[in-house]
Amino acid sequence: MRRAIVLAGGLGTRLRPAVGDLPKPLVDVGGEPLVAHQLRRLAAAGVPDIVIAAGFGAQQVQDELGDGSRWDVRLTYSREQQPLGTGGALALAARAAVAPGDTVVVVNGDLLSAHDLAAQIDAFERSGADVSIHVREVDDARPYGVVSLDDSGTRIRGFREKPRIAAPGLVNAGTYVMRGAVLLDLPDTVPLSLEVDVFPGLAADSDVRAHRDDAPFLDVGTPDALERARQAWR
């Protein structure tokens, strides 16, 4: 079965000068909550069963999004009782909703992306891989984690976090497709970062594939990025 988990529990500290205490997934972009753009993408890709992994402002997020019927999806909620990071929050949400054989799409609630999500899911299911990560070439890789590929150009062998010098690079663009069994192996009681604590180990020990799609994406984590999002996603 196909399911999705939307990571929506971050504190949004960098964005607060622009939005105050409003939870980041609820910030208005194009006349609707930021996270709604992800809900629409998931519905269009054939993944209507979605868990919102909430933390900061969880009740406010649930009150606003409800059951998801406005976007033709079915929402349930997982709440952190303490900050668990992206990896810990993902593991906690998976415990309640995911079976080992499921295909699980994992997206960040503050990400806007124009890439073909359905194509990534289909390629993952054909490949037999454990994880698929959307990657994209960018002119300046400093804000991102840089991805290293094997000689075939399809398997991810490692990651380098946020280089200090401006240079082009192939980067993690923030959309993942994973086998349910992989998620169920993660601990759900300790803070974990997907990018720092989870993916490097999986790249060394499992089959982690790169899904290349050079469509634009935007991490809406700062006031400047929010303004760019509002200009681009009207």
| Residue 164 falls inside a structural domain | no
| Residue 141 falls inside a structural domain | no
Q: Is 197 left (phi over 0), alpha (psi -120 to 50) or beta?
A: alpha
Query: What's the mean pLDDT in 214-219?
Result: 92
pLDDT, the chain, mean = 92
| pLDDT tier at 205, thresholds 50, 70, 90 | very high
Tell me, what's the pLDDT at 234? Answer: 66
Partner residues linked to 107 by β-bridges: 6, 175
Beta strands in the chain (DSSP E): 2-8, 28-29, 32-33, 49-54, 74-79, 103-108, 111-113, 131-138, 145-149, 156-161, 169-179, 208-212, 217-219
Number of domains in the chain: 1
Whole-number Å distance between alpha carbons of 98 and 181: 8
| Residue 151 falls inside a structural domain | no
CATH number at residue 114: 3.90.550.10
| Residue 40 falls inside a structural domain | yes
| Residue 161 falls inside a structural domain | no
| Residue 46 falls inside a structural domain | yes
Q: What is the DSSP letter of 157?
A: E
Of 102, 129, 124, 127, which Cα lies nearest the Cα of 206? 129
Q: What is the DSSP letter of 25?
A: G
Q: Which amino acid is at 7?
A: L
| Residue 154 falls inside a structural domain | no
Least confident of 60-64, 100-104, 163-167, 213-217: 163-167
The more confident residue out of 112 and 144 is 112
- Where helices occur in 55-179 by DSSP H, the ranges are 58-65, 85-97, 117-127
Residue 200 in this model has a pLDDT that exceeds 80: yes
Structure-token match 């069963």, residue found: 49
| Residue 123 falls inside a structural domain | yes
pTM: 0.95
Tell me, what's the pLDDT at 132? Answer: 99
> Residue 17 is part of which domain span?
2-133+172-232
Tell me how many degrees the CA angle 81-89-33 measures, rounded to the nearest 5.
95
Q: C-alpha distances in angstroms, 225 versus 30, 69, 110, 112?
A: 14, 28, 10, 10
